Structure 1
């Protein structure tokens, strides 16, 4: 009682709260059960939790029968560019996300003129002028313009590779690797939270494990984490997980497996095996965790459909190869041939109806957003694979697609693990403006509501 009276006297002696949320069920994120309390907010921060019915406040909300909780943390968003288009990021705020972690292999920094030139289609699509070269300069731009959520970023292993050696399929020299580790060091000093990989997307697959260990070890010196879209989420997922564990061990760094899944119809039902493998690594001393967006469909660049070798040299070279009849025929043959040598998305899905066009940059292709590849092929009177190749050519390899490649029981089992957190894995979107023209994955707005409704309440 004395403590409560002291709290009330202290609260009333201070300036009025900007906001008091009364009568809510407080879930504070510690894992303890909910409790009834009021929450007082001043200058954008929680200033008091308790019985605040007598405390002066500029505004109050009666949250009777509702939950009051901290904002959600999106363990992998993709908003580093779209936050420059619409800093409010409505799709994040609408579902309670107040902090996003981003930087999947390719990060917003470091940059140089060659990378900017290679990625000009993306920058032009979003109307963004890349005036920064380092994380320090990028964060300064965010602070100057304002931002609707908190943002943290990894430095991408792919990003530092591109800055130093471009998009070529080769190993770095010793001198180049030293430059790459130096870029990781600078990024960590600028505020990056670790180093990341996206080993499915070229030029990410060109990096050997030893290269990644060197970069991760540099990030570890600054207390960073190694986060990975692992090399294969399908047929070779066991080997891909083992590679991530090895990096964690040899670089002495915590590991985060991004958007954990058993991808591809031939791998449906393998989640128990995947969970057991991660559990065993944890027992052996590897500090490894994972996250999931809890949907049976993914969303990525449509160009990931093409085998890694065809990306050597970047998107311009990829498009040249798709236009060349003999190379195009080779790519088609590899798509149609089951293989464990690369992550073949064509073999992971049930057919062209499993690819849903989400975003394009060519205005002439806008009517295709929301259509499946099967529908596009029929509309164009083409074979589905030819339609995919021609779509990539016409859109300069920008196209993003949703692809249905997971099973619901596997998704559910992953989500049930105590070491699995939640990611949205979508760039911040808006129902209006430039960002409102795209056809995003439902998770862009619905990842956290889906989990609360489907997996908690239902």
Structure 2
């Protein structure tokens, strides 16, 4: 019968359905872009294609709740993400520009994974106010609110802030609450890169939760972490604050990536006031002896709060002043320039490097015990916080290649921090539920056929800080909307991904 015909049957896999339930052996039938049947020993005579997945694990395609993909149109088949088993990527903007107007941009996307988009505060502030350290005028705030509404009506799933970065960290809480309020729609979400992830972490978490309290929006904290040598072990207090908020009826969730270093701009090592305005304004400030003395005193504390405090805590990714040091550490730079490897020497070097254009870097800063506590928490999703990568170019953080397989290999198989079923839930149904991504995140009839098939005994991340350009292994097949984007371990080049817009009603 025509109704029994399938485009694809996947046979003999161990199915982990994304709910946290124990895995079971079974078959999955797909027609068009949907899963139509999950059962044991499905007849394959009516299937156009059959995949024998005996000995492999089948799960919902992984949902990435935070990555940097604004320029995905230039990387339509992002192999570093696909080879992690990722089928849907959320571009929760922090410091990058938001495509504008968003609707036509989404209409024109033709890429391999599904993508999800947000309205971005940093982009709005740069567009309307520039880099000035001041509150918006009423007219400017109204224009930013209008940009928020436009993006939401074009399909953004929520409002995203990156309050640690220039110029967003010039915004007072009332500005954030007003603009997040302008995003309020059915199933909209407030996304936060916290204002501080080090010594003021708890206050920053409280600020994000208060946005949810004032606006009624669910709150999702991106890449939750506790940075700095003095803040190791703070994870328990942070999780207690999140639990307390949820106990009052708020909806607060977060994602986390499994590495002890983060990656961002050199600006996080500076107080925001010194970076306001233009590069010439910065140069003028650091040339004033009294201002420079104040800056150095503040930076000494910031460096301890943002890193492990040593010259090896900073590895350059891209460095404007001298490209030879890409991939090297701050200690390497100090030795090459015959500078003292002291706290004072490090701060002077950082001030000079910022004057020459700054850098992007990898910052050793977190403790495994905090990372593990975050990963285990029931409201945690797994993320990479990764970038679109041109293979072999630059010195990216290894998370861009390996975050999800690292969970499956290191934290599940080797350390048994999570069961495989719990880990898959945190990569699938957990983010789908928290971010209101409909009909994805479970292996279930009627759901979209976003599916990953992997070898649970072999799935592994290979990228390291010293050698980052190494793809993960173990992903045998990957389907997006019923189309194979990885087949027998090879990327197919297909681009079946869809721009997923906010769903206005619960389904």
TM-score bucket (shorter structure): 0.7 to 0.9
* TM-score under structure 2 length normalisation: 0.75
Task: Count residues with an aligned counterpart.
Answer: 408
In 2, Cα distance between equivalents of 1:11 and 1:457: 40
Which of the residues 175, 179, 183 maps onto 1:211? 175
Cα drift, residue 93 of structure 1: 0.2
Q: 1:56 to 1:358 in 2, by over 3 A?
A: farther
Separation in 1, partners of 2:152, 2:280: 31
Q: Structure 1 pair 428/55, CA: closer, same or farther in 2 (3 Å)?
A: farther
CA drift at 1:289: 0.8
1:420 aligns with 2:380: yes
CA distance in 2, matches of 1:238, 1:171: 24
Which of the pair has the greater relative contact order for Cα pairs under 8 Å at 6+ separation? Answer: 2
Equivalent residue, structure 2, for 1:236: 200
Change (3 A) 1:346 1:273: closer
State the 1:322 CA deviation.
5.3
2:315 match: 356
Q: Could you tell me which residue of structure 1 aligns to residue 20 of structure 2? A: 31
**Structure 2: gaps (5+ residues):** 340-344, 415-507
Counterpart in 1 of 2:342? none
Per the alignment, residue 116 of structure 1 pairs with none
Report whether the alignment pairs 1:181 with 2:145.
Answer: yes
Partner of 1:97: 86
Shift of 1:420: 0.7
Equivalent position of 1:407 in the other structure: 367
Find the aligned partners of 2:364 and 2:254 in 1 and give their Cα distance: 21
Which residue of 1 is the match for residue 474 of structure 2? none
Secondary structure at the counterpart of residue 451 of structure 1: helix
Residue 20 of structure 1 is matched in structure 2 by 9
**Equivalent-residue separation in structure 2 for 1:236 and 1:449 (angstroms):** 31
How does 1:246-257 map onto structure 2 within 5 Å? 246-257=210-221
Residue 437 in structure 1 maps to residue 393 in structure 2: yes
- Do structure 1's residue 283 and structure 2's residue 239 form an aligned pair? no
Q: Is the 8 A contact 2:198 2:306 kept in 1?
A: no
TM-score (norm 1): 0.83
The reply to whether residue 371 of structure 1 matches residue 328 of structure 2 is: yes
Matched, 1:381 2:381: no
Deviation at 1:359, TM superposition (A): 3.0
Give the alignment of 1:305-384 within 5 angstroms: 305-314=269-278, 317-318=281-282, 321=285, 327-336=291-300, 338=301, 344=303, 348-360=307-319, 362=320, 365-382=322-339, 383-384=345-346
SS in 1 for 2:60: coil
* CA shift for structure 1 position 56: 3.7
Q: Describe the SS at the equivalent of 1:425.
A: coil
Contact 2:9 2:44 in 1 (8 A): no
> 1:107·1:153 contact (CA, 8 Å) conserved in 2?
no
Query: Higher helix share goes to which structure?
Result: 1
Distance 1:378 1:55 in 2: 69
Q: Compute the displacement of 1:219 (Å).
A: 1.2
Paired residue for 2:54, among 43, 46, 64?
64
Alpha-carbon deviation of 1:330?
4.1
TM-fit CA distance, 1:344 = 4.8
